[in-house]
Chain A
Amino acid sequence: MKTFARALCGAVSMIAVTAAAPALAEPKAEVLHYWTSGGEAKAVQALQEAFAARGGEWVDAPVAGGGGDAQAAVLRARVLAGDPPAAVQIKGPNIQEWAEAGALGDLTAVATAQDWDKVLPEAIQNIVKYEGKYVAVPVNVHRVDWIWANPEVLAKVGAEVPTTWEEFNETADKLQAAGIIPLAHGGQPWQDATVFETVVLGIGGTDFYRKALVELDMDALGSDTMIAVFDQMRKMRGYVDPDFPGRDWNLATAMVMRGEAAMQIMGDWAKGEFAAAGKVPGVDYVCASTPSDNGYLLNSDSFAMFNVSGDDNVEGQAVLAELILGTEFQETFNLFKGSIPARTDVPRAEFDDCAIKSMDDMVAAAEGGTLLGSMAHEIAQAGAVRGAFIDVATAHFNSDMSSQDAVDQLVKAIKLAQ
């Protein structure tokens, strides 16, 4: 695959050289990404067209599959070989790690010219900045702490979408008594971790979330609050159907759509499934944030800009960065992808109610200091530490481990992973 992609790149650039020989430093960028399906592919197409309209030459290097694992392997090989692509779709702490390795370029010039500091919430700036300099461009924001509910099913037991975890448990008990699956869930480690982090946010609150999952404070990780979190996880385990292990998240979403289950806790990519089935927000399904003290767990995709040589490549990177954070692309892309723009001043007319609620909540959370990075989706933590959290969350959820054992194991695993 890799060799094929490189051969293709080679062929494309050869054609470009022969066709456009007299051109001066024409902006050029090789873009390595894993957006190859559905709305994502359309979104990339939009960026490609915008780049071409600015006279740029786009060298497309998609690596399908593995949720970015395959791409990570290609990227490593390319950087080690001294031939990095111009822009690469990476996110969260991985950006910091690459910056630390000295592989990323500096976008300060574009950022100052375009006033990025004004339009990006601080929590997002922290993700894409290294030592105060912009090294990556955020593309979108997905919110993770959502409940997707079927209002018709909830109405059967006279319930609304719960706003506290006590209410959640009461509603779930009523649903179960009525023979309805309260929580649609897919038992894959990252999905277990997604539920886990919303429970941490809800039971512990935003400060506890920051201490435990972002700062990895050992006292917080081993606290009674964490035991309460695992107690709630054990309750949630009782609210899913017995066949949940291994189920894909979109099949769980379909259970909510069909009315087999009442609610799902999942990020707003789930909206794409509802939209594809022709469901209308507020009528066929309801989106609400999971109970918490105005917390907001964000998952943000971004393009990191690598050190490249040659005027055409540097110019291409600058143009690309400007386009990606431009209001026009942020709007088009996020309408395709179902997420919301990373910058806060994009026109809202085209977005649906859930997206607008997400935008409002993000601004409010950014002001209140409750805008937090998702652990399960590689924003707060990546690599080994994230893996350790996921291991414990999924091991606890899928067995009859006691909350105390889970907490002990968590403390041990996090220490080991650091």
Chain B
Amino acid sequence: MLTRPPVKFIDRIARALPQIVVAPGFAAILYFVYGFIIWTGYISLTKSKMLPNYTLIGTRPYERLFQMDRWSVAIENLFIFGFLFVFVSVIVGCLLAVLLDQKIRAEGFIRTIYLYPMAISFIITGTAWKWIMNPSLGLEKVIRDWGWESFRFGWTVDNNLAIYALVMAAVWQASGFAMALFLSALRSVDQDIIKAASLDGASPWRIYLRIILPSMRPVFMSAMVILSHLAIKSFDLVVALTGGGPGYASTLPANFMYEMTFRRNEIAVGAASAMVMLATVAAIMVPYLYSELRGKKHV
């Protein structure tokens, strides 16, 4: 008679070990991320003012949100800032990567210089650029002192240009990161194909445009996703560089959310704006994840 040996307790533990180890982290994420998303969604439908209040009043907070001039300015700014920030960073990063890929001297050193801004917090970037772009003590003053009297560089003090000042500082910070992503992708392109192409007489320009860049498509995708969620959650850069001003001309949705929730006793409206931001992120992330996961299955 063959009897199955009893499963030892220790074996059972060993088998369940991965689940046990992952469980606390999983539970914490479930509670602190998804639990609070649901809580925020609920609060955005209540009449919460200074303290959370659980009386439902429907979509009134959303209606009020979309009637606020400050919110429409913030949303418009998000589109300007997000679009320019992502595209300029990708283009500048890509150009830098291609230039660095030309087997130049001291590449490691130069690469480090370009990558370092990423290691600085946005608060520092914002403060430094605030000084650089301040008309009475920054770049404008320097150039005027050199003799170009009519030179004007007052982006941070101009109602219509302040948002572009934010783009400039953010691009300065993030393009080095994009460069690093692209550089590693450039290096991982199969050298045999490139050699074959150059044997066939393709110019370097043509090789980049037709072979290397198309094969880097997934990297473009990740760079864009990473940069666009950076753009949507931008908060500290605005606080440090323009303070949302002049007026509230350069405010972003994250700043709006903070202002409503913590300064104006409008927790419901703040929560509503947070849900709209979440929906914006989801609109970008979900198609990306969907295409990624579906792609994996076919491979």
Residues on A facing B (Cβ under 8 Å): 69, 72-73, 76, 79-80, 94, 97-98, 101, 187-189, 192, 242-246, 382-384, 386-387, 391, 394-395, 397-399, 409, 412-413, 416
CB distance from B131 to the nearest CB of A (A): 11
User: Told that A98-B50, A245-B242, A384-B49 touch, could you supply 12 new A-B pairs with CB distance under 8 A?
Assistant: A80-B52, A101-B51, A187-B245, A187-B246, A245-B157, A245-B162, A383-B50, A384-B266, A387-B260, A391-B70, A391-B248, A394-B245
Residues on B facing A (Cβ under 8 Å): 49-52, 64, 67-70, 130, 134-136, 154, 156-157, 159, 162, 242-249, 259-260, 262-266
**Chain B residues, CB < 8 A from A383:** 49-50, 263-266
CB distance from A87 to the nearest CB of B (A): 19
CB distance from B39 to the nearest CB of A (A): 13
Structural contact, A398 and B245, CB atoms closer than 8 A? yes
In the complex the two chains form, what is the Cα distance from A382 to B70 in whole Å? 18
Structural contact, B262 and A246, CB atoms closer than 8 A? no
In the complex the two chains form, what is the Cα distance from A373 to B151 in whole Å? 45
CB distance from B132 to the nearest CB of A (A): 13
**Chain B residues, CB < 8 A from A391:** 69-70, 248
CB distance from A40 to the nearest CB of B (A): 20
Structural contact, A73 and B262, CB atoms closer than 8 A? yes
In the complex the two chains form, what is the Cα distance from A409 to B72 in whole Å? 14
Structural contact, B246 and A398, CB atoms closer than 8 A? yes
**Chain A residues, CB < 8 A from B50:** 76, 94, 97-98, 101, 383
Most buried by B among A73, A79, A397, A398: A398
What 9 A-B pairs come out closest when comparing CB atoms? A383-B265, A398-B247, A398-B246, A245-B246, A387-B264, A245-B157, A394-B247, A243-B136, A243-B135
Structural contact, B264 and A395, CB atoms closer than 8 A? no
**Chain B residues, CB < 8 A from A187:** 157, 245-247
15 A-B pairs within 8 Å (CB atoms) are namely A79-B51, A80-B52, A101-B50, A187-B245, A189-B244, A242-B135, A246-B243, A246-B246, A384-B49, A387-B259, A394-B247, A394-B248, A395-B69, A412-B67, A416-B68
**Chain A residues, CB < 8 A from B159:** 398-399
Most buried by A among B159, B247, B263: B247
Structural contact, A246 and B154, CB atoms closer than 8 A? no
Structural contact, A243 and B154, CB atoms closer than 8 A? yes
**Chain B residues, CB < 8 A from A394:** 245-248
**Chain B residues, CB < 8 A from A412:** 67
CB distance from A257 to the nearest CB of B (A): 16
CB distance from B224 to the nearest CB of A (A): 31
In the complex the two chains form, what is the Cα distance from A383 to B156 in whole Å? 27
**Chain A residues, CB < 8 A from B249:** 398-399
Structural contact, B157 and A244, CB atoms closer than 8 A? yes
Tell whether A245 pairs with B69 under 8 Å between CB atoms, given A72-B262, A384-B266.
Answer: no
Task: State which of B67, B248, B262 has its C-beta within 8 Å of the C-beta of A416.
Answer: B67
